[in-house]
Amino acid sequence: MHMRLLRFGLVIWLAATIALRIAGQHLLRPADPLGTFILFVASFPLMAWLVRRLCVAAHLPREQFLAGAVSVALPTLLLDPFSCLFFPALFPNMSPRVAGVFGGWLLWCCAGAVIGALIPQWRKS
């Protein structure tokens, strides 16, 4: 585990949780499957890119990128099951009907982070 990347993951988790508590109703809407699809499509490569950038910035050797990705994703994996469990209380601005979409989105983002660590080095232009 990489403590610096774990701290980054915790900061990302906290910022995202606060942002969703404030304005999540504009992002996750029960009657907007196209918006949800776009959110998923955008989140996966964004998380892959972000985790790779964080691993590079932390000067990790390539063979430790996966451990770095796990360190970044760990706060989400440990804390957001409780966010899903207490969804109506934590996110009163969002419909309880999107709790499942929220949980799926979190897993999708974590998968993007792991894939970002696993794919070979991106070609430099």
63 Cβ contact partners less than 8 Å away, ≥ 6 residues apart: none
SS (H, E, C) 47-92: HHHHHHHHHHHCCCCHHHHHHHHHHHHHHHHHHHHHHHHCHHHHCC
Domain boundaries, the chain: 3-118
∠ Cα 11 105 109 (to 5°): 55
Sequential pLDDT tens for the chain (125 residues): 899 999 999 999 999 999 999 999 999 999 999 999 999 999 999 999 999 999 999 999 999 999 999 999 999 999 999 999 999 999 999 999 999 999 999 999 999 999 999 988 765 54
Phi first, then psi: what are they for 31, rounded to 5°? -100, 25
Distance separating alpha carbons of residues 72 and 55, to the nearest angstrom:
9
